[in-house]
């Protein structure tokens, strides 16, 4: 199972034309607290968990 983390910074999304998404395997997600501290390499905003691609698409 995979977990997807997205950059939700609208400024970042606008500049790059697409949302930055980081995909992690469930095995590498040992600690939710560590995951919560990932940042977008482009704008340094904190990445948030994408629950469902269909929801984030709109
Ligand atoms: Zn970003």
Kindly give the pairing relationship between strand 47-50 and strand 21-25.
Answer: unpaired
Protein residues placing their CB within 5 Å of the ion ligand 1: 7, 9, 12, 20, 40, 42-43, 45
Q: Which residue has the tokens 């949302």?
A: 19
The CA 35 to ligand 1 mean position distance, Å, reads 16
How far is the C-alpha of 36 from the C-alpha of 55, rounded, in Å?
Answer: 20
CB 43: neighbour CB atoms within 10 A? 15
Q: Does the predicted TM-score (pTM) go above 0.85?
A: no
User: Tens of pLDDT along 1-51?
Assistant: 788 889 989 999 888 788 899 888 876 666 665 555 788 999 999 888 887
């Amino acid at each position: 199972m995979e977990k997807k983390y997205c950059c939700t910074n609208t400024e970042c999304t606008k500049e790059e034309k697409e949302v930055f998404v980081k995909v992690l395997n469930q095995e590498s997600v040992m600690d939710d607290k560590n995951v919560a501290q990932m940042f977008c390499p482009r704008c340094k905003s904190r990445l948030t968990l994408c629950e469902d691609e269909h929801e984030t698409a709109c």
